[in-house]
A = this chain, B = another copy of it.
Amino acid sequence: MNVATDTRSRIIAAAKPRFHSRSYANVGIQEICESAGVQKGSFYHFFPSKRDLVMAVIDEFADEWAHGFVAEAFDPALPPMERIDYLVDAAYFWQKSIKQVHGRMLGCIFGNLTLEVSTQDDILRAKLLAIFSRAKSRFKATLEEAVAAGTIAPLDADLTAEAMLAYLEGVILLAKSQNDPEVIYRLGPAIKTLRVEKAA
């Protein structure tokens, strides 16, 4: 069982950076297997299909974020609005370090996959949507706390949270188009100027 777990996670470990740095369609099972030192038949013992692999990869990225930067950023000890700054900073430093190692800005794997596959695979789209939905909830709770604390004027927390998430993804997209994480540094802080007023 330990060996089994190891093979499975070696496959995922080989797939992660590839899906992140290229695209879903551009990464083949064969390449992943070679890199993981696993036979193709063995791959299909653990994953019924390529889609199931990428779902596992999505989960791993999500967990990594949830227990890493996101947990740090949304620390209840921090003043609410500073959490958002922290998150944007984290995105910036992460992309910057990736570029230093890899030579390229890879962007957000959830955004990347969303635009690539969501017209072709509703199951993947739903998976990605769930990730975004959780992210939005974090923003929303933070905004509600900030409003309650009087840090910011009352607003529509739900829509503003969604707007902030959209902005973050958009900034990362633009940064990727320039292959330059500094775009995140320059544009990121403006996230706090976004506001959707409460409906009358």
Contact = CB atoms under 8 A, between A and B. Distances in A.
A195 to B, nearest CB: 5
A170 B166 contact: yes
Interface of A: 21-23, 25-26, 104-107, 111-112, 114-120, 122, 125, 128-129, 132, 159-160, 162-163, 165-171, 173-174, 176-179, 183, 186-187, 189-190, 193-196
Contact of A116 (B116, B129, B132, B166): B116
In the complex, the 7 A-B pairs of residues with the closest C-beta atoms, listed nearest first:
A170-B170, A25-B25, A166-B170, A169-B170, A166-B171, A193-B195, A112-B115
Given A112-B115, A160-B190, A170-B171, 20 more contacts: A22-B120, A23-B23, A23-B25, A23-B117, A104-B119, A111-B173, A112-B116, A114-B176, A114-B177, A118-B179, A125-B177, A125-B179, A163-B167, A166-B167, A166-B174, A168-B170, A170-B173, A190-B195, A193-B196, A194-B194
